[in-house]
Amino acid sequence: MAYWNVSASNGKFEISAEVLEMGDDCLVAVWGGTRPHIGAVGMAQVRPSLRDPKKSSATSSVFTFVGHKEDGAAKMMAEELSRQLKRNTVVAAGIHWDNLSDEDIAAISRLCQDILGKILEKVPPLGH
């Protein structure tokens, strides 16, 4: 099993993640803010695309605790990691800052994309 950490920051916000490669599967914990926690869990499984069976896509499910809004990040990250890595993937996300503006939420979303990119740089797709 491979286990490692990654983070992304823009000076105002920092998002961190721990990645655990469990055999062929990938487990990612993502957190940031004043109160790290688990707000949502996304799980995705790679499958052939419905539009073009020669391409990969992912099917996902997301579970969100009441009052939390990390479901979008957990779903996006789980689906993209699963699709590109060709692995079953689970992402548990818990990010919290008070009184965020729409601009702040967009900045945090970009940091989650940065984390995603860093994971994709390091974790090889199955079969490669």
pLDDT value at residue 35: 87
Average pLDDT, integer, range 98-109: 95
Task: Please report, for residues 6, 40, 66, 98, 123, the alpha-carbon distance to residue 87 in angstroms, rounded to integers and kept in the order given.
Answer: 19, 20, 28, 34, 10
Whether the pLDDT of residue 127 is over 80: the answer is no
The fold adopted by the segment(s) 2-12+19-122 is Ribosomal Protein S5; domain 2 (3.30.230)
Beta bridge partners of 25: 22
- One-letter amino acid of 85: L
Task: Name the pTM for this structure.
Answer: 0.92
Domain limits, the chain: 2-12+19-122
Beta bridge partners of 116: none
Query: For the purposes of burial, counting CB atoms within 10 Å of the CB of 96, is it exposed (0-12), middle (13-18) or buried (19 or more)?
Result: middle
pLDDT tens per residue, range 28-75: 999 999 988 999 999 999 998 889 998 888 999 999 999 999 999 999
pLDDT value at residue 6: 96
What CA–CA distance (Å, rounded) separates 34 from 20? 24
